[in-house]
Amino acid sequence: MKKELIEILKDEQYSLSFSISDELNIVGKTGCSLSQVEDTALGQGIVPLRYQRNLGAISIDEQRRLLNSRVSVIGCGGLGGFVIEELARLGIGEISAWDYDYFQEHNLNRQLMAEYRLIGHSKIEAVSRRVRRINPGIKFIGMYREFDEKETGESLKREQVVVDALDSVQARLELSRACRHLGIPMVHGAVNTWYGQVSTQFPGEDVIEQIYAGKEKYRLEEKSVLVFAASLVASLQVAEVLKIILNRGNLLRQKIMLVDMLSMDMEIIDMPKNDD
Amino acid sequence: MILTVKLFANLRQGRFKVRDMDFSEGTTVQQVMEYLSISKKEMAIGIIFINGKRANFDSVLEDNDTLAIFPPVAGG
């Protein structure tokens, strides 16, 4: 099958332009999946057109690595919607997303996937549809449920990176424990009003506990979040995910980046491990 | 004694970003917060650093210390 694919990719000289309709033609001819076609093409140095403008920032090999990677996003609200959109556009091959909730009218101010006509509809369904429309080459798995360390933690074990787009302290601490147990890096983001924070925690590290431990019962009184706070923090999270997968650049490990969009400043605070 | 007090996020509203302030010897973090009218509730899950090291409400400050106070950020 792979040989046949390589032959087709050679014969038709797709190296100048390899569009989604070319890809779908090959899928039709060979019965291969879109991701198989793309993986083989990238292996031959042929870049699908929709990834062309990723190149330069990343290499063809790195684009292929993204195609073969798996990322899970926990929560599809303000942060999660933007995170998933960006992961899909980057070309992360497999994205799973968790949320049990339905769109409400007060989500419209900041949640990318929220639309007036989708009020009362499942967030996961909206996200799934959006991902298909942006990038049909991606495998999307929607989990219609709340994240819970005991019941569902194990189902993250195949993930390469987990994104914390949750809105409760308790759930974040549970996710942190699950990721540590499974040996998976976790990219944390949180927002309130004009402010946000981002951090990356690898197994064996403890930033999430340093920030939130002992505060499980905390409930946000101020539920206000402005859309640019959500989209900025989500983008910073996605940049961390990309660098983890590609093993490049600098990560916010044992650090927290605080962003203040009212004063327009950003600060990175060192959070050395507690036992250091 | 002179302390450098740094505030973050919404704690800056109606206050300041960074300021050198004069307090008497033996002042605790909580006393500085009271002086600045920052309630314990407002700081429910916040983080406190003195000279870049984690501290708590009862930590005692010394001359030339930098006290940094971060409020809770937990939405998603």
Evaluate whether residue B16 is within a structural domain.
Answer: yes
Q: Of A58, A79, A100, which closes a domain?
A: A58
Evaluate whether residue A88 is within a structural domain.
Answer: yes
* Structural domains of chain B, count: 1
Residues A188 and A125 in one domain: yes
Residues A180 and A218 in one domain: yes
Residues A18 and A90 in one domain: no
Q: Which residues of B17-28 are buried (b: 16+ CB within 10 A; e: fewer)?
A: eeeeeebeeebb
The tokens of B11 are what? 């704690």
pLDDT digits (tens, 9 = 90+) for B4-28: 999 998 899 899 999 999 999 999 9
Residues A139 and A249 in one domain: yes
Residues A36 and A112 in one domain: no
Evaluate whether residue B75 is within a structural domain.
Answer: no
Residues A125 and A168 in one domain: yes
Amino acid at B3: L
DSSP-derived letter for residue A124 is H
Amino acid at A28: G
pLDDT digits (tens, 9 = 90+) for B39-67: 877 776 678 999 988 898 899 999 999 99
* Distance between start and end Cα atoms, chain B: 40
Inter-chain residue contact B75 with A191, CB threshold 8 Å? yes
Looking at per-residue pLDDT, the higher value among A228 and A272 belongs to: A228
Residues A130 and A232 in one domain: yes
Residues A138 and A39 in one domain: no
Q: Are A119 and A165 in contact (CB under 8 A)?
A: no
Residues A139 and A45 in one domain: no
Inter-chain residue contact B76 with A79, CB threshold 8 Å? yes
Q: Residue B44: which CATH number?
A: 3.10.20.30
Evaluate whether residue A275 is within a structural domain.
Answer: no
Residues A76 and A98 in one domain: yes
pTM over 0.90: yes
Q: Which domain holds residue A245?
A: 69-270
Distance CA A135, CA A211 (A): 36
DSSP-derived letter for residue A229 is H
User: CB burial class (10 A; 0-12, 13-18, 19+) of residue A151?
Assistant: exposed
Distance CA A114, CA A105 (A): 8
Give pLDDT, residue A202. 98
Inter-chain residue contact A223 with B75, CB threshold 8 Å? yes
Inter-chain residue contact A263 with B52, CB threshold 8 Å? no
pLDDT digits (tens, 9 = 90+) for A38-92: 999 999 999 999 999 999 999 999 999 999 999 999 999 999 999 999 999 999 9
Q: Residue A122: which CATH number?
A: 3.40.50.720
> Which chain A residues are Cβ-neighbours of B49 within 8 angstroms?
269
Distance CA B10, CA A190 (A): 14
pLDDT digits (tens, 9 = 90+) for A241-255: 999 999 999 999 999
Give pLDDT, residue A233. 98
Inter-chain residue contact A191 with B10, CB threshold 8 Å? no
Q: Are A30 and A8 in contact (CB under 8 A)?
A: yes
Give pLDDT, residue A201. 98
Provide the sign of the torsion angle of the four alpha carbons A181, A184, A187, A192, taken in this order.
Answer: negative
Helix (H, G, I), strand (E, B) or coil at A197: strand
* Structural domains of chain A, count: 2
Q: Which domain holds residue B58?
A: 2-70
Q: Which residues of A71-102 are buried (b: 16+ CB within 10 A; e: fewer)?
A: bbbbbbbbbbbbbbbbbbbbbbbbbbbbbeee
Residues of B contacting chain A (CB within 8 angstroms): 8-10, 12-13, 17, 44-45, 47, 49, 52, 54, 68, 70, 72-76
Residues A37 and A168 in one domain: no
Evaluate whether residue A276 is within a structural domain.
Answer: no
Phi, psi of A247 (to 5 degrees): 55, 50
> Which chain A residues are Cβ-neighbours of B45 within 8 angstroms?
169, 211-212, 215, 218
Q: What does R_g of chain B's alpha carbons equal in angstroms?
A: 12
Residues A97 and A233 in one domain: yes
Evaluate whether residue B62 is within a structural domain.
Answer: yes
Q: Does A196 touch chain B (CB under 8 A)?
A: yes
Evaluate whether residue A158 is within a structural domain.
Answer: yes
Give pLDDT, residue A275. 67
Q: Are A83 and A238 in contact (CB under 8 A)?
A: yes
Evaluate whether residue A63 is within a structural domain.
Answer: no
Question: How far is B35 from chain A, CA to nearest CA, in Å?
Answer: 23
Mind giving me the DSSP string for A19-68? -HHHHHHHHHHH---HHHHHHHHHHTT---GGGGGGBTTB-HHHHHHHHT
The tokens of A18 are what? 């390899």
Evaluate whether residue A64 is within a structural domain.
Answer: no
Evaluate whether residue B76 is within a structural domain.
Answer: no
